[in-house]
Amino acid sequence: MSTTVLRRGRVLAADTFRDDLAVVIEDGRIVALERDPDPEAPLRAGQVDLEGGWLLPGFIDAQVNGGGGVLFNNDPSVEGIAAIAAAHRRFGTTGLLPTLISDHPPVMARAIDAVHRAIDQGVPGVLGIHLEGPYIAPARKGTHDASTFRVPGADELALAASLDNGVTLLTLAPERVPLEAIRALVERGVVVAAGHTAASYEQIAAGLEAGVRAFTHLYNAMSPLTGREPGTVGAALDDAHSWVGIIADGVHVHPASLRVALKAKPRGKVFLVTDAMPPVGADDPRYVLYGETISAVDGVVRNAAGALAGSALDMATAVRNAVAWLGVDLAEAARMASLYPAQLLNLDDARGHIAEGFVADLVLLDDQLKVRRTWIAGRE
């Protein structure tokens, strides 16, 4: 069994940065955090010099539509997933959910099967699947194809919950799906989020009672908060137990609105996502969605109708933006990108911390918070 020791870094351990620790990795896991008695001592075989960088838990992105020139809907295959995951590793993402936006049942079946095989084959970083739709509201469809929208029957509920070797996150509109169907999904282990919804506060409250656990890209594609009708946004901010995903790109949501969410929600309930599209990690800014060619212009992705069509955001940039705009320090921004999504997805017993026994998913940032190195299960 080979041992790797990471030295001379600023390690985020037990909620604070330490510059006197060495991280010992064996067989893909952290086996010890040891005090480094002499950081200036020469490196020995198997030791890695972190050169004073910030060592964080690897980022977990629960909403990745594409990357590296690949859109998951267009290429629901192991090869497509591997290309997407490889593109995002450059930006510190060590765990992700390939995200299928609303589509027809055969495409859903192929996507779920591809994720199952990718996990089975050990494609680095694949934790499960995010099905964003198709059980959503036409009034808040965004760029989703309304011709795919439907109410799931028993067979389709079984399909949506069929991934048995990874996490399934399912975004739906609670007013469009019977509450008993939400309960059935939760009982089968699906993490249910509300999104692309025109629901009232009361309808969201009923969904939360049935098992809705999170809100997909808060503020976007959901009924807004107003004085007399709190809507989905008001329900999300009012509920102390649910998580909310935010796209911190300065385009999807104004930073002031993100700061409001941070103040309203208990600590640990706001996490970063990218909603990334194929241009992330690719030279070509163009991609095809539902037969329409879309291009990222100045980092903004819109379709011909002007609707936002995902993002060109990566997780490292989201972390930098959180520090710059949201009044949080690097440690908290890192938790928003690692620990908090791990908690949402029930993966925090193995991911989201740099601690003994945890999977060695790690990212090293420099002083400009740019990614310098990434490890998945101890492998760089």
**Does residue 275 carry a catalytic annotation?**
yes
Residue 220 assigned to a binding site: yes
User: Residues 341-362, buried b or exposed e (16+ Cβ, 10 A)?
Assistant: bbbbbebbeebbbbeeebbbbb
Q: How confident is the model at residue 39 (pLDDT cuts 50, 70, 90)?
A: confident
State the Cα–Cα distance between residues 132 and 114, nearest whole angstrom. 16
The answer to the question of residue 351 being in a domain is no
Residue 17, domain extent: 3-56+356-375
Report the CATH number at residue 146: 3.20.20.140
Is 110 annotated in a binding site? The answer is: no
Is a pLDDT exceeding 90 seen at residue 305? no
- Percent share of the chain, pLDDT over 90: 92
Q: Report the pLDDT averaged over residues 148-174.
A: 97
Tell me the mean pLDDT in the region 101-125: 98
Q: What is the largest CA-CA distance in the chain?
A: 66
Question: Given this model, what pLDDT does residue 249 score?
Answer: 97
- Claim to verify: residue 51 and residue 135 sit in the same structural domain: no
Same domain, yes or no: 249 and 151: yes
Same domain membership, residue 363 and residue 267: no
- Identify whether residues 144 and 38 lie together within a single domain: no
116 annotated among ligand-binding-site residues: no
Integer angstrom CA distances of residue 147 from 150, 351, 359 = 8, 38, 41
Examine the domain organization and report whether 273 and 125 are in the same domain: yes
Is 350 inside any structural domain?
no
DSSP state of 126: B
pLDDT digits (tens, 9 = 90+) for 342-352: 999 999 999 99
Residue 255, pLDDT > 80, answer yes
Rounded distance between C-alpha atoms, residue 219 and residue 333, angstroms:
20
303 is in an annotated binding site: no
In a domain, 95, yes or no: yes
CA-to-CA dists, residue 99 to 118, 234, 290, 354, angstroms: 14, 26, 15, 27
What confidence score (pLDDT) does residue 2 get? 86
Name the phi and psi angles at 335, rounded to 5.
-65, -35
How far is 122 from 89, CA to CA, in rounded Å?
15
Q: Tell whether the model's pLDDT for residue 280 goes beyond 90.
A: yes
Quick check: 298 pLDDT over 90? no
In this predicted structure, what is the pLDDT of residue 42? Answer: 87
Assess whether 35 and 62 both reside in one domain.
no
- Indicate the number of domains in the chain: 2
Which of 75, 103, 275, 314 is catalytic? The answer is 275
Q: Quick count: other Cβ atoms within 10 Å of Cβ 187?
A: 10
Q: Are residues 48 and 189 in the same domain?
A: no
**Identity of the residue numbered 98:** P
Is 148 annotated as contributing to ligand binding? no
Q: Which two tokens stand for residue 197?
A: 């919804």
The stretch 86-101 carries a mean pLDDT of: 98
Burial class (CB in 10 A: 0-12, 13-18, 19+), 110: middle
Q: Which pTM does this prediction carry?
A: 0.97
Instruction: Say whether both 78 and 8 belong to one domain.
Output: no
Has 360 been labeled as part of a binding site? no
Average pLDDT over residues 23-46: 92
Inside any domain, residue 157: yes
The whole-number average pLDDT for the span 224-253 is 98
Q: What is the pLDDT of residue 76?
A: 98
Same domain? For 84 and 194 the reply is yes
Q: Is the same domain home to 79 and 16?
A: no
pLDDT category, 174, cuts 50, 70, 90? very high
